[in-house]
Amino acid sequence: MHKEIRRRSAATVNLASDELHPLLARVYAQRGIVSPHELDLQLEHLLPPNELTNALAAASLLADAIADDARMVIIGDFDADGATSTALAVAALREFGARHVDYLVPNRFEYGYGLTPEIVALAAGGAPDIIVTVDNGISSIEGVAAARELGIRTVITDHHLAGHELPAADVIVNPNQPGCQFASKSLAGVGVLFYVMLALRAELRERNWFVHRDEPTLAQHLDLVALGTVADVVPLDRNNRILVAAGLRRIRAGQARPGITALLEVAGRDCQRLVASDLGFAVGPRINAAGRLDDMSIGIECLLSQDLATARVHAHRLHQLNQDRQVIERGMQEEAMQIIASMPEVDPHDAPVAMTLYQPGWHQGVIGILASRVKDRLHRPTIAFADGENGDIKGSARSITGIHIRDVLDAVATRHPGLITRFGGHAMAAGLTLPRDGYAAFAQAFVQEVGRHASEVHLQAVIESDGALAAHDLELAVAEQLRYAGPWGQHFPEPVFDGHFLVLNQRIVAERHLKLVLQLPGGGPALDAIFFNADTAQWPDESVGTVHAAFRLDVNEFRGRRTLQLMIDHLIPIPAS
């Protein structure tokens, strides 16, 4: 698919100093950094817990529960954010002295998402006094009502957008609930729960709870917070960057919990050189695979493991599940592309403004990844559906910048009452359920609603570049600085540069990756480059002697030798003049 390479506007702020490389100063300024103070990511600069609405109320309720020896059950979600949130809640509450803490994660194939009445009924078998939701609950109207009828108190900790009605929980902690003025709206579920645990520790201190027992160090759980935050692809505002940076520092220092260490081992990642993308692309998918194909308790037990041997058993199981997921995903992608190819509007410039796909037999746990892949290929908001229960189909939606997918679903539900059974999510991702016989009507309504919000700017895929690099910046030392200058992620993207290069050599490796040797037109050293998952129908092309490339600087390590490598994001052939 054609993509436009567009350079970011030149920043007006000058951050250059003796301590900051000029290129890095330029990159930071182009991401909205206006002061060196914003680059200080020490934990002391975290926003305080008392500014998060109801965090203190939740802390008081949980402190009472610990003192009263109450039974608590954590209800999590079946993704990496939910798994890390659940593990953090169980571990921290037990360390604080809670003796009866258990967890339940709804199996997506049997119960669906969130605190449903069915999950409440299942949890009630353990006679809990309190249910604590993590990474879910803000839309659980019926589930909270069911818990209240059974005399079970509820504490909701969530970060998803609230609907028109809030559940009648005892306490709701969610930076995105109406009236909450917390400055960081981008906390992941695990970030919200970490804040509640910070408030709980402060409350227990006030009660002199730690006079006769050791006070836990919550910093030891920052590896979980970093993993969940990165894996959930929430915007990395300064507060989230502080949390992620702290977690990465612990992992690099060899202080990760056994479960994360074991997952990094099976993924072939070096703890000492870890960056945020390793958590997002290596660890997160392996945990997510448990929720997609099996039971997320495998991932949670891995994260709760007290020793490396036990953690390795769980990590190898998660690794196998992820490999199984990849096989299933490839088959579904092939079917999806065949469906798209059969459509008359194959050219993205003429394609519908949104895409819906449904195939009987698709795996319900993998449709989210499928939707993401199609969205990336066509640059269109995409929903992939799979069969659910009782004549329903379940969809997973992924969107593009400028199209708020949850708002779109809300508008469809408002304009067409009864068409959607339930939905929830945020700007870039959402889930929904609807009757199978309503699919065609929904697909039409969805395209119409996206069309009301879309523009040509939104529908043109764009790679934002930080500009060209001088020859002296194409060096290993610069790549090393950029690697650790993040953490990079959503809304604080890893630097991408662009420029024209002569193509000295090109060949396909490992069936679908384009290996290149490039050189600046004015001469200079030959530069190794790799373009993963290149279109093998287009590349290699020996007739192409010059390309316009969008690329990232990367450090390639092979047999102990470290060299500069350009990671190609997009290639545009330049015709010979």
Mean pLDDT of 370-387: 94
- pLDDT value for 3: 85
Residue 478 domain flag? yes
Q: Do residues 473 and 396 share a domain?
A: no
Q: 227 near 80, Cβ under 8 Å?
A: yes
pLDDT band at 340 (very low <50, low <70, confident <90, very high): confident
Letter for the amino acid at 200? L
Exposed (0-12), middle (13-18) or buried (19+): which is 462, by Cβ within 10 Å? middle
Mean pLDDT lowest among 159-163, 313-317, 453-457: 453-457
Report how far residue 47's alpha carbon sits from residue 147's, in angstroms, rounded to the nearest whole number. 32
Of 315, 324, 319, which Cα lies nearest the Cα of 365? 324
* pLDDT tens-place string over residues 198-216: 999 999 999 999 999 999 9
Q: Do residues 455 and 468 share a domain?
A: no
Report how far residue 251's alpha carbon sits from residue 271's, in angstroms, rounded to the nearest whole number. 6
Mean pLDDT of 434-457: 92
Q: What are the helix and strand counts (H, E) for the chain?
A: 18, 17
Check pLDDT > 80 for residue 22: yes
Residue 326 domain flag? no
Q: Do residues 409 and 441 share a domain?
A: yes
- End of a domain among 290, 319, 348? 319
Q: Do residues 493 and 358 share a domain?
A: no
Q: What is the CATH number of the domain that holds 542?
A: 2.40.50.460
H or E segment at 259? helix 258-266
Q: Do residues 430 and 550 share a domain?
A: no
- End of a domain among 459, 492, 509? 459
Letter for the amino acid at 320? Q
* pLDDT tens-place string over residues 518-550: 999 988 899 999 999 898 989 999 999 999 999
Check pLDDT > 90 for residue 106: no
Report how far residue 315's alpha carbon sits from residue 232's, in angstroms, rounded to the nearest whole number. 20
Mean pLDDT of 142-161: 97
End-to-end CA distance of the chain: 24
Mean pLDDT of 36-42: 94
Check pLDDT > 70 for residue 349: no
Which residue blocks in 429-469 are alpha helix, DSSP H?
Answer: 439-453, 456-459
Check pLDDT > 80 for residue 226: yes
Query: What's the token pair of residue 290?
Result: 């448990």
Name the 3-class secondary structure at 356: strand
The alpha carbon of residue 265 and the mean position of all alpha carbons in its chain are separated, in whole angstroms, by 21
Q: Do residues 435 and 482 share a domain?
A: no
Q: Do residues 301 and 367 share a domain?
A: no
- pLDDT value for 344: 66
Residue 4 domain flag? no
- pLDDT value for 350: 58
- pLDDT value for 163: 84
- End of a domain among 319, 343, 373? 319
Query: What's the token pair of residue 233?
Result: 């692809």
Q: Do residues 56 and 153 share a domain?
A: yes
* pLDDT tens-place string over residues 286-304: 999 999 998 899 999 999 9
Q: 432 near 383, Cβ under 8 Å?
A: yes
Q: 191 near 55, Cβ under 8 Å?
A: no
Residue 31 domain flag? no
Query: Mean of the per-residue pLDDT values for the chain?
Result: 94
- How many structural domains comprise the chain? 3
Q: Do residues 312 and 443 share a domain?
A: no
- Please give the full DSSP string across 163-230, using - where no structure is assigned: -SS----SEEE-TTSTT---S-TT--HHHHHHHHHHHHHHHHHHTTTTSSSPPP-GGGGHHHHHHHHH
Report how far residue 29's alpha carbon sits from residue 17's, in angstroms, rounded to the nearest whole number. 13
Q: Do residues 201 and 219 share a domain?
A: yes
Q: What is the CATH number of the domain that holds 207?
A: 3.90.1640.30
Q: Do residues 158 and 75 share a domain?
A: yes
pLDDT band at 347 (very low <50, low <70, confident <90, very high): low
Residue 449 domain flag? yes
Show the CA angle centred on residue 357, arms to residues 355 and 362, nearest 5°: 150
Letter for the amino acid at 111? Y
Residue 23 domain flag? no
Q: Do residues 420 and 543 share a domain?
A: no
Pairing of the two strands 153-157 and 130-134: parallel
The alpha carbon of residue 67 and the mean position of all alpha carbons in its chain are separated, in whole angstroms, by 36
Q: What is the CATH number of the domain that holds 369?
A: 3.10.310.30
The DSSP call for residue 283 is I
Residue 42 domain flag? no
Check pLDDT > 70 for residue 60: yes
Residue 181 domain flag? yes
- pLDDT value for 345: 55
293-314: b or e for each residue (b if 16 or more CB lie within 10 Å)?
bbbbbbbbbbbbbeeeebbbeb
Domain enclosing residue 500, as ranges: 464-573
Check pLDDT > 90 for residue 323: yes
